[in-house]
Every structure is written in C-alpha cells, then in structure tokens.
Amino acid sequence: MSASDHRRARGRLGEELACHALTERGYEIVARNWRCPQGEIDIVARDGECLVFVEVKTRRGRGAGLPEDGLTVQKTERLLALAQRFIAEREWHELSWRLDLVAIELDRHGAVARLSVIPGVGVD
C-alpha cells in the first residue's frame, strides 16, 4: 500500500470516527464528503437548529504536529467559502451555521488516543 493509500485510509477512518462521535453528541449527519469544483467538506451536520461544517484532521503520532495544526488560515478560509456555497445551493440562508473541527490522534497501533470535537473554529 502506498503512502497516499495509507493517508486516504486514515482519512476515511477519521471521518467514520468523527461521524460516530458527532452522532453520540446529538448531531445529525446531513452529508459526507460534499464536493464542488472548489473543494470538499468532510461532514455537514446539524446541531439542533445550527448547520455545522466539520473538518476532520486525523494524525498518527505527533511527528507532523497535532491534528489541530492542519487547520490553517487558508484551509479555514476555503471551508468558509465552501460552506457559503453549500448554503446557497440549498437556499438555506435562514439557518445559522458554524465550522467545527474534529481532531483525532491515533496511537502506533491505530487505536484512538484522543478525539476532540472543537466547535466554532475560524471565528474571531
């Protein structure tokens, strides 16, 4: 298996774990891997009346830093634009919305060492 295959598999695992964690917290999953020409949103969910656009960052070990480090300013700006496009396409302008991050660290065996749901990222 190539490095990119391992990365994709880790990403899929992270999204599965994130969906499970979000559902346990009462979120309703609306869409997964929503794509448009400008990019992809990992998970779209509802938290009560709030629409939530979720970025999932999964890391194995800390060699590349914390999962939270993967959500750069540029990535956040792109997610904000994607969220606005998602809302516009569905004409859901009346809904409040936010960006959340699910940060997952796996141990060397691939088990979850830490999973954090961080609401409201990218908000000043």
Give percent of the chain above pLDDT 90: 73
The CATH fold of domain 3-119: Trna Endonuclease; Chain: A, domain 1 (3.40.1350)
Q: What is the DSSP letter of 48?
A: T
104 neighbors 115 (Cβ within 8 angstroms):
yes
Strand order in the sheet with 96-106: 28-36, 39-47, 50-60, 96-106, 112-119
pLDDT at position 124 over 60: no
Give the span between the Cα atoms of 1 and 6, in whole angstroms: 7
Name the β-bridge partners of 100.
54, 119
What type of residue is 106? L
The pTM score is: 0.91
18 neighbors 39 (Cβ within 8 angstroms):
no
Q: What is the DSSP letter of 110?
A: S
Average pLDDT, the chain: 91
Burial of residue 50, with CB atoms counted within 10 A of its CB: 0-12 exposed, 13-18 middle, 19 or more buried: middle
Can you give the pLDDT at residue 104? 95
Q: What is the pLDDT of residues 62-110, one digit of tens each?
A: 777 889 998 999 999 999 999 999 999 999 889 899 999 999 999 988 8
